[in-house]
């Protein structure tokens, strides 16, 4: 049975050109990038070329890009370094951020290093810029605003430019978890001012276990991992050279084809929405997919029923991979903090369909059939 993978917000398939670039590096670049001999210098040059590629893709300077182990580490680093090194004492966020942000905030709050305030959200998951402005006006406490660009469960998009302008006006630092949008939406940090943002290889058809953080050069941060001079002293440890090369290749090829890929993905996602609405009564569409929502995501809640409870499992058995909320780190379907925040107490069963350019309308037709059979519609 050919499987249908509609869980591309959890991760994406490695593209063949990324695989080729990584294989080439594995065969050819075995030097330690910190060594000064020929093999080392060639490995170093490849990393610096990758850094330039990532910097160029988002309008940053080369010195503002640091490679990490992924989005989780980048977000931890931004928040924890801002508190430790920049004197941030208050963080404004929302309850629908990824756990790597929310749990970092819990840790910082537990250690009594910061106070955390959450913005309210409307039913589609949007913040109110007026409320953000009021909060920023209310005190002189050094503040960082952390708001994700696209929510990974419902897809709701933040108006980065508006928030960036408000933060600049009030002298607040601004971190955005851009893990779901890097490679999918244009971003130019030379125009849209951010203090920090993050990217992850495996969300854009690149490898897992590698990502990057953009740190605006105005922010003087101390090392996050001690023990070596790698990543300009910020993150010690021999670099994940194959991952870094794969990440850069993935990002550059996503950006080169960005508009075409967006059209393809959006068409399949919109077709799924149309078909769901045609075949299922009483479904709820979460987030803002037809407005300010990520084109790769569609979150749908089905009325509560014993069959709906088994939907994820039965779709999996029928060859369709989707997820209930986010890909939970424990592997259990433990419900979703995003759905709890947006639709408290709802007994509905939520399925997140997330698409890539590998998906087709024929696959959507097949998924609709399987859904109808699983729900006996
Ligand atoms: N932030 C968001 C919005 C995500 O969707 C994810 C991945 O699930 C992460 C951060 C974590 O990224 P990584 O898997 O690279 O650690």
User: pLDDT tens digit string along 313-372?
Assistant: 999 999 999 998 655 554 455 689 999 999 999 999 999 999 999 999 999 999 999 999
Distance (Å) from CA 188 to ligand 1 centroid: 21
Spatial neighbors of 302 by CB under 8 A, at least 6 apart, are 280, 283, 308, 311, 348, 349, 350, 351, 375
Positions in the chain short of pLDDT 50: 330-331
State whether the beta carbon of 211 lies less than 6 angstroms from ligand 1: yes
Q: What's the CA gap between 285 and 305, in Å, rounded? A: 17
For the CA of 10, the closest atom of ligand 1 is 8
Choice among 81, 100, 197, 328 that is catalytic: 328
For the CA of 75, the closest atom of ligand 1 is 10
Out of 7, 93, 98, 246, give the residue to mutate to test ligand 1, the one with the largest number of ligand atoms within 8 Å of its CB. Answer: 98
Q: What confidence score (pLDDT) does residue 377 get?
A: 86
Q: What's the CA gap between 188 and 168, in Å, rounded? A: 16
Distance (Å) from CA 71 to ligand 1 centroid: 5
Out of 177, 178, 200, 294, give the residue to mutate to test ligand 1, the one with the largest number of ligand atoms within 8 Å of its CB. Answer: 200
State whether the beta carbon of 261 lies less than 6 angstroms from ligand 1: no
Q: Computed from CA positions of residues 13, 15, 19, 22, in that sequence, does the dihedral angle turn out positive or negative?
A: negative
Contact 212, 234 (CB under 8 A): no
Determine whether 167 is an active site residue. Answer: no
Q: What confidence score (pLDDT) does residue 268 get?
A: 98
State whether the beta carbon of 100 lies less than 6 angstroms from ligand 1: yes
For the CA of 72, the closest atom of ligand 1 is 16
Q: What confidence score (pLDDT) does residue 111 get?
A: 86
State whether the beta carbon of 200 lies less than 6 angstroms from ligand 1: yes
**CA angle in degrees (0–180, nearest 5) for 320-326-327:** 65
Distance (Å) from CA 135 to ligand 1 centroid: 27
Q: What confidence score (pLDDT) does residue 278 get?
A: 97
Closest C-alpha among 162, 328, 62, 107 to residue 337:
328
State whether the beta carbon of 180 lies less than 6 angstroms from ligand 1: yes
Q: What confidence score (pLDDT) does residue 191 get?
A: 97
Q: What confidence score (pLDDT) does residue 325 get?
A: 64
Q: What confidence score (pLDDT) does residue 210 get?
A: 98
């Amino acid at each position: 049975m050919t499987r249908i993978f509609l869980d591309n917000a959890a991760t994406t398939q490695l593209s063949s050109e990324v695989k080729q670039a990584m294989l080439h590096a594995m065969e050819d670049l075995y030097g330690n990038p910190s060594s000064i001999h020929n093999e080392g210098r060639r490995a170093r040059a490849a990393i610096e070329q990758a850094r330039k590629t990532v910097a160029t893709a988002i309008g940053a300077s080369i010195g503002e890009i640091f490679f990490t182990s992924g989005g989780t580490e980048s977000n931890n680093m931004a928040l924890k370094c801002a508190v430790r090194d920049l004197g941030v004492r208050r963080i404004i966020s929302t309850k629908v951020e990824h756990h790597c942000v929310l749990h970092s905030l819990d840790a910082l709050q537990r250690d009594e290093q910061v106070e955390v305030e959450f913005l309210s959200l409307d039913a589609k998951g949007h913040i109110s810029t007026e409320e953000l402005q009021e909060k920023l006006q209310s005190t002189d406490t050094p503040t960082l605003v952390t708001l994700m660009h696209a929510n990974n469960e419902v897809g709701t998009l933040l108006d980065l430019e508006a928030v960036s302008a408000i933060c600049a006006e009030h002298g607040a630092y601004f971190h955005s978890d851009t893990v779901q949008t890097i490679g999918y939406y244009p971003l130019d940090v030379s125009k849209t001012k951010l203090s920090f943002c993050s990217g992850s290889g495996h969300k854009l058809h690149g490898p897992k276990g590698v990502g990057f953080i953009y740190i605006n050069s105005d922010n003087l941060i101390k090392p996050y991992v001690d023990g070596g001079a790698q990543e300009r002293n910020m993150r010690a440890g021999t670099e994940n050279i194959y991952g870094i090369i794969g990440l850069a290749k993935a990002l550059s090829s996503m950006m080169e084809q960005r508009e075409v890929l967006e059209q393809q993905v959006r068409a399949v996602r919109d077709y799924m929405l149309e078909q769901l609405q045609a075949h299922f009564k009483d479904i709820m569409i979460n987030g803002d997919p037809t407005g300010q929502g990520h084109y790769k995501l569609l979150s749908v809640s089905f009325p509560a029923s014993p069959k709906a409870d088994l939907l994820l499992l039965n779709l999996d058995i029928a060859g369709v991979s989707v997820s209930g909320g986010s890909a939970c780190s424990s592997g259990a379907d433990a419900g979703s903090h995003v759905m709890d925040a947006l639709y408290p107490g709802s007994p509905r069963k939520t399925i997140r369909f997330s698409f890539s350019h590998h998906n087709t309308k024929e696959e959507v037709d097949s998924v609709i059939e399987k859904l109808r059979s699983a729900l006996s519609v």
